[in-house]
């Protein structure tokens, strides 16, 4: 069997590396139009940071895992083609700011229709609006060679930072297909690939639309839990309750469960906001404005939480931060990734820069250029934004420290030493609730967390 994956990003790269590792008899070819990205995958210096991924790639690379820019050639050879290209939020026209921009998906479908010389199974890996399979099928069916394609939906549930673990041992694999004999056959073929390492009872098969919708709904439910606990964090700030204590108390109820109840500066990442906006757009398109408004409030709460965090720093610094140095520790949207898409750090930095603060950022994995581009826009400069090479440099002389990403190394910094080098009163604001605030107060810090009273 020969598998091709179009799109060598955060989803396509790790997923294909795992399939190649677990199925040594299957040739897996990952292609991407971005030559630099493809070169990086084989260079030993992977284009994405993901714990454990180096090792998985090393084991399969050259054996049955290959990376190239030869999209047309690999399409011809493949029995199964995964589509893992990005589906950003549309920035123009109808649905701008909410609907998914499907131009990459469409262009990939057209390329497959043009290049294929035999019928194939096409697998949607990218998160896409419900009914996208219809559009892909229509484009593929319009091929002039009389070829038959089966389109499957196989959404990815891996989380960045734990991708290898999630792929190795997934809670479930979801495969949606057309409920026809050919559709069932295609579903069985793909299920057979995963069954090499995933127990059969964790491989769920559904119709196409259920599978497409389940991905959006899973992310909406997860994000909803964070916005729910973040809304309560504001109430904790107002009343003196401690949000971690509340989360622990409610999470012990087995119907609620303990996960995804960590109050924070706000969720980020390439999926949550995008998928909820997509879901709300879908609801509106189907004449369900109340349902759209319900889910949209999850995003509204998240935006508010991000601005509330920056606002509290300004307030605690006596409502004036102009020319004061503020250290921002962490820029990735969560720990153990170099991904900054939709990271809360972006809006925190922008809000502080708007108040003319001197913002000094440190992140262990995000490149300085990326931090500048994300915050200021491509090519823009602002002397108030600087990037430090470590946390100590970022904090030296700062009036306040904001913990924005929960990197483990921030838990073990020498805060007494840091405190000594800061103008007083020195403030520390833990946007991830990872630090021992009582210990920091003993040193002399004014220390706050999210939903943690001072």
- Residues with active-site annotation: 271
Nearest approach in angstroms of CB 284 to ligand UDX is 20
Residue 25: how many CB atoms within 10 A of its CB? 7
374 binds ligand UDX (CB under 6 A): no
Nearest residue to 55 (alpha-carbon basis) of 156, 159, 157, 164: 164
Nearer to ligand UDX, 158 or 327 (CB): 158
Nearest approach in angstroms of CB 160 to ligand UDX is 4
Q: In this chain, which of 3, 4, 5, 12 binds ligand UDX, going by CB under 6 A? A: 12
By CB under 6 A, which span of 6-14, 190-198, 323-331, 407-415 interacts with ligand UDX? 6-14
Residue nearest to ligand UDX (CB): 9
Nearer to ligand UDX, 9 or 183 (CB): 9
Q: How far is CA 309 from CA 87, 300, 398, 409, in A?
A: 29, 14, 17, 22
Binding mask 211-250 for ligand UDX (x = CB under 6 A): --------x--x---x------------------------
* Cβ–Cβ < 8 Å for 81, 71: no
Separation CA 403–CA 330 (nearest Å)? 7
Nearer to ligand UDX, 35 or 288 (CB): 35
Which residues lie across from 173 on neighbouring strands?
203
Nearest approach in angstroms of CB 157 to ligand UDX is 4
Binding mask 124-153 for ligand UDX (x = CB under 6 A): -xxx--------------------------
Separation CA 267–CA 272 (nearest Å)? 8
Nearer to ligand UDX, 49 or 392 (CB): 49
Q: In this chain, which of 49, 197, 209, 260 binds ligand UDX, going by CB under 6 A? A: 260
Query: What DSSP designation does 330 have?
Result: -
Nearest approach in angstroms of CB 165 to ligand UDX is 12
Nearest approach in angstroms of CB 263 to ligand UDX is 7
By CB under 6 A, which span of 8-16, 133-141, 186-194, 323-331 interacts with ligand UDX? 8-16
Which residues lie across from 326 on neighbouring strands?
359, 400
Nearer to ligand UDX, 41 or 445 (CB): 41
* Cβ–Cβ < 8 Å for 358, 324: yes
365 binds ligand UDX (CB under 6 A): no
Q: DSSP letters along 118-135, please?
A: S--EEEE-S---TTHHHH
Query: What DSSP designation does 100 have?
Result: B
Nearest approach in angstroms of CB 216 to ligand UDX is 10
Separation CA 335–CA 104 (nearest Å)? 29
Separation CA 443–CA 4 (nearest Å)? 56
By CB under 6 A, which span of 103-111, 180-188, 198-206, 280-288 interacts with ligand UDX? 103-111
Nearest approach in angstroms of CB 302 to ligand UDX is 9
By CB under 6 A, which span of 157-165, 283-291, 360-368, 382-390 interacts with ligand UDX? 157-165
* Cβ–Cβ < 8 Å for 212, 129: yes
Q: In this chain, which of 120, 324, 334, 358 binds ligand UDX, going by CB under 6 A? A: 334
Q: In this chain, which of 26, 40, 147, 159 binds ligand UDX, going by CB under 6 A? A: 159
Nearer to ligand UDX, 34 or 185 (CB): 34
Separation CA 417–CA 152 (nearest Å)? 56
For 397-428, b/e burial (b = at least 16 CB within 10 A) is ebbbbbbbbbbeebeebebeebbeebeeebbb
Residue 300: how many CB atoms within 10 A of its CB? 11
By CB under 6 A, which span of 249-257, 261-269, 319-327, 412-420 interacts with ligand UDX? 261-269
**What order of strands is seen across the sheet that includes strand 427-430?**
385-387, 358-362, 325-329, 400-403, 427-430, 446-449
For 154-189, b/e burial (b = at least 16 CB within 10 A) is bbbbbebbbbbebbbebeebbbbbbeeeebeebbeb
Binding mask 49-88 for ligand UDX (x = CB under 6 A): -----------------------------------xxxx-
- The size of the chain, in residues, is 454
Half-sphere exposure for 185 (CA within 13 Å, toward CB): 7
By CB under 6 A, which span of 131-139, 190-198, 255-263, 408-416 interacts with ligand UDX? 255-263
* Number of residues lying near ligand UDX (CB under 6 A): 41
Binding positions for ligand UDX, rule: CB under 6 A: 6-12, 32-34, 37, 84-87, 104, 107-108, 125-127, 156-160, 219, 222, 226, 260-262, 264, 267-272, 333-334
């Amino acid at each position: 069997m020969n598998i091709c994956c179009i799109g060598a990003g955060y989803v396509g790269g790790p997923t294909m590396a795992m399939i190649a590792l677990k199925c040594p008899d299957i040739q897996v070819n990952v292609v991407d139009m971005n030559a630099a990205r493809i070169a990086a995958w084989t260079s030993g210096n992977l284009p994405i940071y993901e714990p454990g991924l180096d090792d998985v790639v090393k084991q399969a690379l050259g054996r049955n895992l290959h990376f190239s820019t030869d999209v047309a050639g690999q399409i011809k050879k493949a029995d199964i083609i995964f589509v893992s290209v990005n589906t950003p939020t549309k920035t123009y026209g109808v649905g701008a700011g909410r609907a998914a921009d499907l131009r990459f998906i469409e262009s990939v479908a057209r390329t497959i229709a043009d290049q294929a010389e035999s019928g194939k199974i096409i697998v949607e890996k990218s998160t896409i609006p419900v009914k996208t399979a219809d559009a892909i099928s229509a484009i593929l069916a319009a091929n002039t060679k009389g070829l038959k394609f089966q389109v499957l939906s196989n959404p990815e549930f891996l989380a960045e930072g734990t991708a290898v673990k999630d792929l190795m041992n997934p809670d479930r694999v979801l495969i949606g297909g057309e409920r026809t004999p050919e559709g069932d056959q295609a579903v069985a073929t793909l299920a057979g690939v995963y069954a090499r390492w995933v127990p059969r009872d964790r491989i769920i098969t559904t119709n196409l639309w259920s599978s497409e919708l389940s991905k959006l709904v899973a992310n909406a439910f997860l994000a909803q839990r964070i916005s729910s606990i973040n809304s309560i964090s504001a109430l904790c700030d107002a009343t003196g309750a401690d949000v971690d204590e509340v989360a622990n108390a409610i999470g012990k109820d087995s119907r609620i469960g303990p996960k995804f109840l960590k109050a924070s500066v706000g969720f980020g990442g390439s999926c949550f906001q995008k998928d909820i906006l997509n879901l709300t757009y879908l609801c509106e398109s189907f004449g369900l404005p109340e349902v759209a408004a319900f889910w949209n409030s999850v995003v509204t709460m998240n935006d508010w939480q991000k601005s509330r965090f920056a606002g509290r720093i300004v307030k605690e610094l006596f409502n004036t931060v102009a020319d004061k140095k503020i250290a921002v520790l962490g820029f990735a949207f969560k720990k153990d990734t170099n991904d900054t898409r939709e990271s809360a750090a972006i809006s925190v930095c922008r809000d502080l820069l708007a108040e003319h603060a001197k913002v000094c950022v440190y992140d262990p994995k995000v490149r300085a250029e990326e931090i500048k581009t994300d915050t200021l826009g491509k090519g823009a400069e602002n002397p108030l934004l600087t990037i430090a090479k470590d946390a100590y440099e970022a904090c030296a002389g700062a009036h306040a420290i904001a913990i924005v990403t929960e990197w483990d190394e921030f838990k073990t910094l020498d805060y007494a030493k840091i405190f000594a080098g800061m103008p007083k009163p020195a403030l520390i604001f833990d946007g991830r609730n990872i630090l021992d605030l009582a210990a920091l107060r003993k040193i002399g810090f004014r220390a706050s967390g999210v939903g943690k009273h001072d």
